[in-house]
Amino acid sequence: MTRTSSAPVVTRTSSALLRSPVAALLAVLLAASGVLLGAGGAQAAGYRYWSFWEGDGKSWAYATQGPSLVRPDDGTVQGFRFAVSEDSADADRPRHAPDFGAICADTPAKGGAKRVALVIDPGTAEDAPAGEKPPALRTACAQVAPDASSAEALASVAKPLRYDSSAMICAISGYPKSGCGEQVSGDGSKKDGSGKDGSGKPSAPEASSAPAADDGGSGGGPSAGLLLGIGAVLLLGVAAVFQARRRR
């Protein structure tokens, strides 16, 4: 009677001891995966900069060249928007319609000159550097020489302009007072870094005024390397479970 009753107790104890480390291992693996996924989501970052846009009368398109290279025709509408964006695809558009007729209504055509309608949008308080308040959005009709660039048209109506050593536009009409394409983390805190253009290189008007996502991916989701790491961890967990079962 004693032997008969003790056998099931030994079996249950062995199973419990076997399941316990396996369950603990799986719990650790799941916790590690959660930490890795959370770290991937926290990597989102952007750049605070002036982006450059071209209007077609109805909508805005991100400029493929910088304002110092573009030679706009008479009747062109162009926009500048200050905001925090991850890359050109994520950039905020100017918050005013690209309507040449309305913007240049009070500036009659003149021989030997061209008119370029400009929308200058300093953005919102959320995008402003610490301690600064964005000025109001405004429009202007620049009347400049026929061969003038977009940068020259902007300078004729929105001084002072500020550039960095690579010719990236940093401030329009003195805003912001400091900084130039600095990297900003997802929670709004400033990080080390600089503005980048649409190709991922340091930004300059000659290339494009847009930063681009880092090669490692800063779009807010886990990178491919992170996902591979999580997959490897989970595979190790599965292997441990099968190994434990074989030892029963």
pLDDT by 10s per residue, the chain, length 248? 444 444 444 444 444 544 555 555 555 555 555 554 554 444 457 999 999 999 999 999 999 999 999 999 999 999 999 999 988 888 999 999 999 999 999 999 999 999 999 999 999 999 999 999 999 999 999 999 999 999 999 999 999 999 998 888 999 999 999 999 999 875 544 443 333 333 333 333 333 454 444 444 434 445 455 555 566 656 666 666 556 666 65
Angle made by CA atoms 113, 117, 119, in degrees to the nearest 5 = 150
**C-alpha distances out from residue 76 to 67, 80, 97, 127, 187, Å:** 13, 14, 13, 28, 37
Angle made by CA atoms 47, 33, 85, in degrees to the nearest 5 = 10
211 contact partners, CB below 8 Å, separation of at least 6: 46, 47, 49, 85, 86, 87, 88, 181, 195, 196, 197, 203
Report if pTM > 0.75. no
* Alpha helices (H) in 42-113, listed in sequence order: 100-103
Residue 230 tokens read as 């999580």
44/203 Cα distance (integer angstroms):
19
93/27 Cα distance (integer angstroms):
46
Instruction: Return the sign of the alpha-carbon dihedral for residues 234, 239, 245, 248.
Output: negative
CB 103 within 8 A of CB 119: yes
**C-alpha distances out from residue 171 to 43, 84, 175, Å:** 27, 14, 5
pLDDT score for 243: 63
97/79 Cα distance (integer angstroms):
10
pLDDT score for 91: 94
Residue 43 tokens read as 């990597």
